[in-house]
Structure 1
Amino acid sequence: MKREKSKLLVLFLFVCSVACAFSTASAGIVAYWRFDDAGDADIEQWGAVAAGNRLPDSDGQTVWRKAAHDHSGSGNHLTTWEYDDTWGGGVGWAGFNWSADVASATVPQTGASNALSIQNAGGWPAAMTWSEQSLPSGTNIETFTPAAFTIEASFKADSLGGYQTIVGRDDRDVAAINGDLASLYFQVMPGNEVAFKFADGDGYWHEVVSDPGAVTTGQWYDMVGVSDGSTMSLYLDNVLLEELDLTLSGSTNTAMALGTASGGDWESGTWSLGRGLYGGGHGDRWIGYIDEVRLSDTALNPSEFLQVPEPATMLILGLGSLMLRKRRKS
C-alpha cells in the first residue's frame, strides 16, 4: 500500500513540474484578444460587453475607443474602424458585434471560460491595433520583427469566396516579388484553402497553403501558423497541413519584415483583424466570426496551442483515473 502511494506521489510531482514548464512557455505571448471583456470599464463606457451589442469604434481612426483588451498584458489593445456614420445608431458597415457563438465553452489549453466571439457588422469589417493611442507597456507588436513567432485564431465563415483575411499586418514594398503585398496574411483563399504568408527582412516572400476545400461555411476551425526561422508550418484543428523549409529560399534574415510605408488610413506594422491590405488599400474582408486570437514571439510546440488541452490537465485526469481504479481494486 505504501509503495502504491509513493508511486502516486511521484506522478503528482511530475504533473506539477509539467504545469510549471507550461507557465514558463507562456511568457512568449505578446498579444491575446479573447473578446470576453465584460467588466472592462474602458470598453463598457461605450456600452455593455454582451452578445448582440456593438464593439466600440474609432470613427475612422480619428478617436481612440478601446474595443478589445489584450490579455497578454502587453497593452496591444484593439479598436475597430467605424460601426456607422454616427455613433448613436444605424446599421453596422465597418465594425463588429459581440456574439455568443463560440467554438467551445472553455479554452482547452488554459481552461478559461469562453463566452463571446466577434462577428462582422456589415461588409467592410476592420479591427486594428493603434499603438500611438493604446501605448503598449510591454512588447509593441507594431514595431517588432520576430525571428520566430506563432499566430493562432479560431474562426467560422458565414460566406466564402475570394481572399478573406482573418489576421493581417499592414505594409507595402516589403516583398521583392510584389510590392503591393502586405507583410503578413493569415487567411482563407478563393478555393477555400487556408494560408499563412509573410515577407521577411531580406524581402523574400514565404507562404504555406493548404489543399483546396480545407474549410467550409458554418463550422468553427482553429488555425495556427508557426515560423521558427528555419521552418514555416500551418495547422488546422491541430493537424499539420503544410511545411516550408525557409532555408531553401536563400534568405539571410527570415524574421518578419517591417517596412516604412504608410497611407491615409494605415501605417506599417499595424495588425488587423477581419481585413487585409493590398496595394495600400483595405480589402480581403472577413465575413463571419473570429475568436481567441493570440500572437507569440516564439515558435510554439503543438502541445502549447490554445486549442490543445494543457499537458498537466491531461495528466491530472489520468492521475484521477488511476486513483479511481486503485480504489476499486482495494
Structure 2
Amino acid sequence: MSNTTMMMSPRRMAWTALPALLAVIGLAQASQAATSAYWRHEEGSDGALIAAGPGSVLDSSGNSNHMQTFDPTFTSASYSTNVSPVPLRSGLPNTLSLDFGPGGDDAGLNDDNYSGGAAINSQLFSSMTMELAFNMNAIGGFQAVFGKDGKPTSSVVPPLKVLVRGDDFPNAVPNQLFIEWIDGDGDVHFLAGGSTITAGEWNHLAFVLTDASASLYVAGEDTPYELVSSIAGEDFAGTSGEVLFASDANYSIGRGAFNGGVADWADAVIDEVRISDTALDTSEFLFAAVPEPSSLLLVALGAAALGARSVRNHS
C-alpha cells in the first residue's frame, strides 16, 4: 500500500489520544469532587489587606468553607503577586498569594486566617490530602503555615500542624518542614522533611493520610514531588474511621496552635491551600511540578505520532 493509504489521519490520531484525554479529565473531575476546601487567595488585589468580616477569604471548592482574619488592622496578611513559578495542574491562573509577614497592617508577626464556623471544622476524614505552597520570608523560630486549633488530649500537640521547626529535632536537621497530628485514636505522630528550608524559595507540599499510612511529599521550584517521609502499617483510624482527631476546632493559615493556644505565626508567603477527603495520587497533586510531564495527553499524542511514523517507515 502507499504511504498515503497507510499514514494515520489527524482524525484517527485524535481518536487514538481520546482515552488519555478522558483519563486526564477524569483525574481532574475526581480530585475536584474530592475537594473539601480550597483557599486560593485570588480574591484580593496586590498590596491590599483582607476585608473585615466572615467569608472574606474564599473557598473555591463550592463548599462555602470560607476563612476570615480576626481584625484586619493588625492580623491581616497582604495580597501579593509573589506566586510559585510552578503552574497549577488544573491550568487555572495563579496571580495572587497572601504574605503573612510583618507589615501591611502593622509591624507585628501576628497575621493569620481561620475557618470560623465552617462545616469543614467538624468533617470526619477516613482519608485526606492536605496541600499548599509556601515561601519563607525569613527562617528562625517555630513557624506554622497551616494547622487545626485545639488541645483535645493531654498532649501539647494540636490536631494538626504544618510548620518549619526552629530546632533540629528529630534528626539533627535544622529548620526543616515538620507535620504533627493526632490520629483518630488520640495518638500523636509526626513526619519530618529531612532537609533545611531556605528563605526565598517556593516549596509545594502534599500530606497524604489514610487509616494505615501517612506520607509527606515535597516539590521545589524546579523539581518534581518527592516522597520525603512516610509511616506505614499503622492504625490511624478512630471509632468512626476518622484518621484525624474528631473536633470542631478551626483550621488556620499563617499560624498553628500549641498547648491549646494560638501560636507559631509564620513569616511566609502562603498560597493554594487545599484539603481533599481522599488520598490523592501524585498525579492529582495541585502543582504540575517540573520536570514531570505536563499531562498524560502529551504521552498519548507522542505515542500516536511514533505509531504513525512507524507505519510510514514500513509501508
Match of 2:234 among 236, 244, 247: 247
Query: 1: CA distance between counterparts of 2:183 and 2:86?
Result: 37
Tell me if the contact between 1:30 and 1:74 (Cα under 8 Å) persists in the aligned partners.
yes
Match of 1:218 in 2: 200
* TM score, norm. by length of structure 1: 0.78
SS in 2 for 1:101: coil
Query: 1: CA distance between counterparts of 2:238 and 2:297?
Result: 44
Query: 1: CA distance between counterparts of 2:271 and 2:59?
Result: 13
Cα distance change of structure 1 residues 246 and 66 upon mapping to structure 2, 3 Å threshold: same
Deviations along 1:185-223, one digit per CA (max 9) or x if unpaired, are: 11111122112221122111111112241x110011101
CA-CA distance at 1:321 after TM superposition: 5.1
Query: 2: CA distance between counterparts of 1:309 and 1:156?
Result: 16
SS in 1 for 2:77: strand
Match of 2:8 in 1: 4
Match of 1:29 in 2: 35
Unaligned runs of 5+ in 1: 38-48, 58-63, 85-92, 260-267
Match of 1:42 in 2: none
**Matched residues, percent identical?**
24
Tell me if the contact between 1:153 and 1:290 (Cα under 8 Å) persists in the aligned partners.
yes
Match of 2:115 among 106, 125, 129: 129
Cα distance change of structure 1 residues 230 and 320 upon mapping to structure 2, 3 Å threshold: same
SS in 2 for 1:95: coil
Match of 2:145 in 1: 166
Tell me if the contact between 1:171 and 1:258 (Cα under 8 Å) persists in the aligned partners.
no
SS in 1 for 2:275: strand
Residue pairs, 1:1-330, within 5 angstroms:
1=5, 4-5=8-9, 8-22=13-27, 23-37=29-43, 49-57=44-52, 64-84=53-73, 93-104=74-85, 106-107=87-88, 109-120=89-100, 122=102, 123-131=109-117, 140-174=119-153, 176=154, 178=155, 180-190=156-166, 191-213=174-196, 215-237=197-219, 238-245=225-232, 247=234, 255-259=243-247, 268-308=248-288, 314-319=295-300
* TM score, norm. by length of structure 2: 0.81
Deviations along 1:268-294, one digit per CA (max 9) or x if unpaired, are: 420000011112221111102000000
Deviations along 1:151-188, one digit per CA (max 9) or x if unpaired, are: 000000011122211110011133x5x1x221001111
Higher relative contact order (CA closer than 8 Å, sequence separation 6+): 2
Query: 2: CA distance between counterparts of 1:68 and 1:246?
Result: 38
Question: Residue type of the partner of 1:290?
Answer: I
Cα distance change of structure 1 residues 322 and 298 upon mapping to structure 2, 3 Å threshold: closer
Match of 1:263 in 2: none
Query: 2: CA distance between counterparts of 1:308 and 1:181?
Result: 32
Query: 2: CA distance between counterparts of 1:2 and 1:79?
Result: 62
CA-CA distance at 1:4 after TM superposition: 2.3
Query: 2: CA distance between counterparts of 1:120 and 1:235?
Result: 23
Query: 2: CA distance between counterparts of 1:321 and 1:16?
Result: 13
SS in 1 for 2:152: coil
Q: Give me the CA root mean square deviation.
A: 2.7
Q: How many pairs does the alignment contain?
A: 284
Unaligned runs of 5+ in 2: 103-108, 167-173, 220-224
SS in 2 for 1:291: strand
SS in 2 for 1:146: coil
